[in-house]
Amino acid sequence: MTAISAPMMPLEVKGGAEPPARRQLVSSATLGMLIFIAVELMFFAGLISAFTIVKSTAPPGAWPPPGQPRLPLELTGITTLVLLCSGALAWLSWRAFSRRAATARVTRPLVAALVLGASFVVVQGVEWLRLVGEGLTMRASTYGSFFYMIVGAHALHALAGLAALAWCWRRHAAGRLAPSSFAAVLALWTFVVALWPALYAVVYL
């Protein structure tokens, strides 16, 4: 809008040279997702602080409880790397998408991110079955309770993130994926991926 077509444009308005449009910090979808992620971050902060308090007040030698199975350090270390790769691939897909690259260059890393993320969840599930079989259950000890609580909460978020990635894939295949939607989903998946190493360090190490 030029000054001629807007004779009433006042001088006091900050940035008066700009057209009178609604200014957005970031797209609404991304802002909403970032707020949601902040909530989830505090949720996990609550779980981790609770875990840390109970762990630090346990009598010497009682943590982890004797007679309970140990958590699979090495295997989970590998799956951690798998999950990190998944996050990187999702970003590669976003980069191709935002540069309006050919469909295949968006889809391929996206599907790879999906597969790696799904394999992370599947390996976790298999490990859970093994641990439950060896006697580490939610009821057996607070150690087990916290393990399933924290890792399970993360797994639920991972499943939600995978569903969102799959939705992006379908929308993109149909040619109807809005950049703001993809950005919001990417933010969610980045949160899931970036949170995991912290949880691994606190719960497993």
Partner 1 sequence: MTTTTAPHHADAPTAEHVHDAHDAHEQSFFTKYLWSTDHKVIGFQYMITGLLMAIIGGYMAYGFRMQLAWPGEWIPGVGFLSSGRYNAFITTHGTVMIFWFAMPVLIAAFGNWLIPLMTGCDDMAFPRINRLSYQVFLISAVVLIGSFFVDGGAFGGAWTAYPPLSSKATMNLTPLGSTLWVVAVALEFVAFLLGGINFITTAMNARAPGMSMMNIPIVVWMIVVASILFMVSVGPLVAGAAMLVFDQQLGTHFFDPGQGGDPILWQHLFWFFGHPEVYVVLLPAMGICAEIITCNARKKFFGYKTLIYTVFATGIISFFVWAHHQFVAGIDPRMANVFTITTLIISIPIAEMLFLFIATLAGGQIRLNVPMLWALSFVAEFLLGGVTGIFLGASGSDIYFHDTYFVIAHFHYTFVPIAVIACFAGFTHWIPKMTGRMMNETIGKLHFWFTIIGFNLVFLPLFITGAWGDHRRIYNYDHFPDLTNAAMQDLRIASTVGLLIMIAAQGFFVWNLLWTWLKGPPAGDNPWQATTLEWATTSPPGHGNFHPMPTVYRGPYEYSVPGAAADFTPQHLPPA
- Residues of this chain that bind partner 1 (CB under 8 A): 8, 10, 12-14, 19-29, 31-32, 35-36, 38-47, 49-50, 53-54, 57-58, 62, 65, 138-139, 141-143, 145-146, 149, 153, 178, 180-181
- Give the nearest distance from C-beta 51 to partner 1 in angstroms: 10
Angle (CA) 163 167 170, round 5°? 140
Nearer to partner 1, 16 or 125 (CB): 16
Nearer to partner 1, 145 or 190 (CB): 145
Q: Which is nearer to partner 1, 116 or 150 (CB)?
A: 150
- Least distance CB 71 / partner 1 (angstroms): 17
Q: How far is the CB of 68 from partner 1 (least distance, A)?
A: 11
Q: Residue 198 and residue 205: Cα distance in Å, rounded?
A: 10
Measured from the CB atom, is 43 or 101 closer to partner 1?
43
Residues 6+ apart with CB under 8 A from 21: none
CA 112, 38, 79: angle at the middle one, nearest 5? Answer: 30
CB of 77 to partner 1, least distance (A): 26
CA distance 187 to 195: 12
φ and ψ at residue 105, rounded to 5 degrees: -75, -20
| Cis bond before residue 66 (omega within 30° of 0) | no
Nearest distance, CB of residue 112 and partner 1, angstroms: 25
The smaller minimum CB distance to partner 1, of residues 7 and 102, is found at 7
b/e per residue 176-197 (b: at least 16 CB within 10 A): ebeebbbbbbbbbbbbbbebbe
